[in-house]
Structure 1
Amino acid sequence: MIRCERDDDVWTVIIDRPEKANSLTAQMLGELADIAEAAQDARVLVLTGAGKIFSAGADLEAARAGLATSPDWERLSGALSALPCLTIAALNGTVAGGAMGMVLACDLRVAVSEAKFFYPVMKLGFLPQPSDPARLTALIGPSRAKLLLIAGQKIDAETAHGWGLVDRLTTPETLMTEAQTLAADTRAATPDHAAAIKGLLR
């Protein structure tokens, strides 16, 4: 359900449960967090999904069993944020709920134009992951963050790009090529140089 493909120094992590909108079980969430914690030697980590949806967040049955409040969500986003390498969310489709946390924790976000973005914590009665509001506000500002988290608004990819939530828009056919293009300079640099520049931007 979670695949990690390693091509030299590039780790491509794929959420592969398209028949269930790439929703995450507890095991899948734990695997993602384990991979993020283990990727210390990667030069680039690309996070993407199989099919036409990036991830619908927690699997409904798993959420009812407590996954929605699992500390592994924050473990995953914290591990991604702490990596010294470049992290790219290559969004092959809609991002919903808890899946937003891992996307916000990446350095860059590239999305297909069909993608939608929503985080319905107010409607569902949950709090967002602890670090998500600050990361979201840093990207799009406090009022727009409130539109997503408090007003529960769903936005399209063009709006997300205009707000700064997404850095590039592309097509499904060119999504991974765009991610590779963004990673080119980092791959050409030494790991220490890339990590030092990323450190200055924290």
Structure 2
Amino acid sequence: MIRCTQDGDTWTVTIDRPDKAGALTQDMLTQLARCAEDARSAKLFILTGTGKVFSAGADLDAARAGLATDPVWERLSAAIAALSGLSIAALNGTVAGGAFGMILACDLRIAVPSTKFFYPVMKLGFLPQPSDPPRLSALIGPARAKMILMAGQKVTADEAQSWGLVDRIVAPDALLETAHALGQDTLAADATHVSGIKRMTG
């Protein structure tokens, strides 16, 4: 259900569980974290999904069994944030709940027009993963972060782009092509130059 492929300096990680809206189990999250850790020196890292939903967050049965508060979420987002190259979340559809962490840890987020964003921790009674609120606030500001986390608002792709959560909206058939195109200058550069600019831009 997690596909991790390497083509030279490009790593592509795909959540492939369209029949369950990309819902994540403990095993899937561990695989994602391992992929990101193995790709630590990649120049281009693309995170995507299949079907009409990127990820609905934690599988509900697994969440009730304790996955919602498992440290594996932070392990995954930390591994993505630590990548030395350019990381791009190529969102094929809606992002919900704990799935926010991995996309917030990416450098760029591109999305298809139908994408929606929501993080219903207030309604479900869970706290968000510790690194998610500060990353979200850094991107869109504290008030808008509270719109998502506290007011439980579903944000459309257009609204997310106007807020700064999404960097570009693209047609579904151009999603991966756009992600690869955005990475071309990075792939052509020396690895030390790539990592240097990554450090300088935070």
TM-score for both structures, normalised by structure 1: 0.99
Structure 2: how far apart are the matches of 1:82 and 1:35?
13
Structure 1: how far apart are the matches of 2:148 and 2:40?
32
Q: 1:108-147 maps to which residues of 2 (within 5 A)?
A: 108-147=108-147
Match of 2:161, SS state, is: helix
Structure 1: how far apart are the matches of 2:73 and 2:42?
21
State how many pairs are aligned. 202
8 Å contact 2:104–2:136 — kept in the other structure? yes
Q: 1:140-159 maps to which residues of 2 (within 5 A)?
A: 140-159=140-159
2:98 pairs with 1:98: yes
Q: 1:1-202 maps to which residues of 2 (within 5 A)?
A: 1-202=1-202
Match of 1:5, SS state, is: strand
Structure 2: how far apart are the matches of 1:136 and 1:42?
24
Structure 2: how far apart are the matches of 1:120 and 1:191?
39
Match of 1:136, SS state, is: helix
Give the RMSD, CA atoms, in angstroms: 0.6
Tell me how far 1:78 sits from its aligned partner. Answer: 0.6
8 Å contact 2:86–2:186 — kept in the other structure? yes
Q: Percent identity?
A: 64
Structure 1: how far apart are the matches of 2:8 and 2:44?
10
TM-score for both structures, normalised by structure 2: 0.99
Q: Deviations over 1:72-113 (max 9, x none)?
A: 000000110011011000000000000000000000000000
Letter in 1 for 2:143: S
Structure 2: how far apart are the matches of 1:17 and 1:140?
29
Tell me how far 1:40 sits from its aligned partner. Answer: 2.0
Tell me how far 1:201 sits from its aligned partner. Answer: 1.1
8 Å contact 2:40–2:82 — kept in the other structure? no
Structure 1 consecutive aligned stretches of length 4 or more whose deviation exceeds 4 Å: none
Tell me how far 1:43 sits from its aligned partner. Answer: 1.2
Match of 1:51, SS state, is: coil
Q: Deviations over 1:28-62 (max 9, x none)?
A: 00110111111123111100001111000000110
Structure 1: how far apart are the matches of 2:176 and 2:82?
23
Letter in 2 for 1:123: K
Match of 1:76, SS state, is: helix
Q: Deviations over 1:162-199 (max 9, x none)?
A: 00000000011000111011101100101110000000
